[in-house]
Each structure stands twice: as C-alpha cells, then as structure tokens.
Amino acid sequence: MDVNILVVDDEREIADLVELYLKNENYKVYKFYRAEEALDCIEKVRLDLAILDIMLPEINGLAVCQKIREKYNFPVIMLTAKVEEMDKITGLTLGADDYITKPFSPLEMLARVKAQLRRFIKYNDNVQLGQDVIDFSGLVLNRRTHECLFNEKPLHLTPTEFSILLILCENKGQVISSERIFHEVWGEKYFGNGNNTVMVHIRHLREKMNEPAGNPRLIQTVWGVGYKIEK
C-alpha cells in the first residue's frame, strides 16, 4: 500500500526538495504551494502524514493543521522559519506532532517522517500483542483500534497524544520522567526543548479531558521528576 504524504510550502525550492527526498524513499507525495489546494486534497486523498509550512499566504499552516485535526489523526510535521518557542508551542497545541526549523537537513526531515510513520502505523495496526484494552477510572484505551474514551465520550487524540497517554496508563501509579516519555514516543535522544514538547502535549491531553489546569484529577505532575496517572 502506498504511503501518501502531503507537502505544503509556498517556497517552491523547499517544497520541491522535500518532494524529491520523499519520492526517493518511494513515498507518494501530494505537493502544493497554497493551502487552499491542500485543503481540497485532504478531503479527497487518504493521507498518512502531512508536512506543513507555518508561513503560508492567506491561510497559514497552523490553520491547516487545525482543520486536519477536526477529522483526521494522521501525523502532522510543521516547517517553520521562526525560532520563537511560542510558534512551536502553538503548533503542538493545535495538534501538530513535531516541528522542524528552517533551514533543515533533508536527512533529518526524513528521519522525523519515518519516526512519525512508525508510530502512526503501530497504533493503527490490527496486530497488537498483549491485552488490547486498558480500562480504569473512566478512561478506556484500545491499543488495537487506537480509540480512547473518557467518561464514555470519545477523545479525539493524535498519535502522539495517544502514545503519551498509553505510556502513562501502562505504568499507572508510577512517575514517568519527561526524558523517558520523549525517548519512547519520539524515538530520539532527549534534547533541551524536549521537556517543553512533552509538557505541551500533556497540557493538550488535560484540555481534551476537561481536567482543571490547577488541579488535574488523572494526569499528575511530579515537579522536577515527570508525570504519573492514577485513580
């Protein structure tokens, strides 16, 4: 089965370069220089991953990411020329799974793409080992179908959010460090901004679960150590 990747960047040289490297890995690429055409493609093509530039004319990449998350859970990687931390946090909060700052190495881009695809395929694969369902304290996670319910209502999680929640649930009652979460979810060596990346996803999970920011019931922060989930 083809792996379909959406690429959207109004800088044609960058979009063409990304397309070239992805095609060399035998991925099928849907490349656009404008968001409007990309939004049409999203509705018509079964996509496995999207690479979106933040600074697009008329409709920016963050708006496209937000639109994707209304219906789809495939991974989204943001490309940004900005270095401000808030731009990265905003992208993660809107549902992006990763970000790459321009200028970037095409080989690094490929590594990020492959890591996201591995995680997406893993949690959407019909073949899973061990118990499929985790059920406690109103939270139900199905490893096989990648579905999540909280108080009998569906939670629409990205693959990254599902991965983090699954790690915490599989180790309920134990404190899991940000370093361990980052390593297991992203499959990469922990780096300086890794803690912020994990923190944003934890905050997003709490928001989707309607957990009060000052006193969350399920996902607990253990300051200076990490996170735990318990009844």
Same domain, yes or no: 43 and 104: yes
Mean pLDDT of the region 133-154: 83
Residues 153 and 97 occupy one common structural domain: no
Q: Who wins on pLDDT, 188 or 38?
A: 38
Q: Which residue has the higher pLDDT, 154 or 5?
A: 5
Max Cα-Cα span within the chain: 52
Tell me which of 23-32, 78-87, 106-115 is least confident: 78-87
Q: Is the same domain home to 225 and 167?
A: yes
In angstroms, the Cα distances linking 99 to 76, 212, 224 are: 8, 27, 25
Does pTM top 0.85 for this prediction? no
Tens of pLDDT along 72-102?
888 999 998 766 656 666 667 677 888 888 8
State the average pLDDT for the chain.
84
Of 41, 39, 20, residue with least CA distance to 30: 41
* Whether residue 115 is found in the same domain as residue 142: no
Question: Residue 224's pLDDT is what?
Answer: 84
- 31/192 Cα distance (integer angstroms): 32
| Cα(196)–Cα(7) distance, integer angstroms | 26
Q: If we measure between CA atoms, which residue out of 195, 194, 120, 205 comes closest to residue 157?
A: 205
Q: How many domains does the structure of the chain reveal? A: 2
CATH number, domain containing residue 189: 1.10.10.10
Residues 120 and 8 in one domain: yes
Could you report how far apart the first and last alpha carbons of the chain are, in Å?
Answer: 41
Residues 18 and 111 in one domain: yes
pLDDT given for residue 6 in this prediction: 97
Write down the pLDDT at residue 130. 43
pLDDT tens for 115-140 read 888 877 765 554 344 457 888 778 88
Is the same domain home to 24 and 113?
yes
Looking at the structure, tell me whether residues 117 and 147 fall in a common domain: no
Domain of residue 44 covers: 4-124
CATH of the domain at 17: 3.40.50.2300
Q: Measured between alpha carbons, how far is 148 from 84 in angstroms, rounded to an integer?
A: 33
Q: pLDDT confidence of 182, banded at 50, 70, 90?
A: confident
Look at residue 122 in the predicted model and tell me its pLDDT: 63
Compute the distance between CA of residue 72 and CA of residue 194 in angstroms, rounded to an integer: 25
- 115 and 50 in a single domain? The answer is yes
Same domain, 115 and 138: no
